Amino acid sequence: MKESFWGYLIIILGVFTLTVILLFQDVTNTNDQNYYLVKEITEASMLDAIDIPYYKVTGEIAIDKEKFTENFVRRYAESASLNKTYDIKIYDIVETPPKVSLSVDSKSNVFTFTGEQFNISNKIDAILETRS
């Protein structure tokens, strides 16, 4: 009986510890996570938005505005956390040479003990470079 009690105690402490870690992970909203997410998604969306017919005709790389916007929003929605509210603002998209200026503001929806919510804003200007 004594050994089984200790086994149950260890299992309960393990579940409690995992719950605390998951709760803490949901509450935290770091700038590094958001910045690298925005950076990687912007780069991938710019590569997906390359206008191939225009490249075949002129030999210059250009991106399609609508395709970039669609790819960026779709990729960000797939990768973003569900417990945060995001505000995506696309300021400028230049098709030739490919350049994008955007910002993503994130706010946590989880209850905080102090009642304060912190907004994290990440702004990025991306230029697609290629080697010929």
Region 91-117: mean pLDDT is: 79
Using one digit for the tens of pLDDT, what is the confidence trace for 18-65? 888 877 766 565 677 788 888 999 999 999 999 899 989 988 888 999
In this prediction, what percent of the chain has a pLDDT beyond 90? 33
Q: Which residues contact 34 (CB under 8 A, 6 or more apart)?
A: 104, 106, 120, 122
| Comparison of pLDDT for 6 and 103, the residue scoring more | 103
Note whether 71 and 49 are within 8 A (CB): yes
**Domains of the chain, residue spans:** 30-127
- What confidence score (pLDDT) does residue 14 get? 92
pTM: 0.72
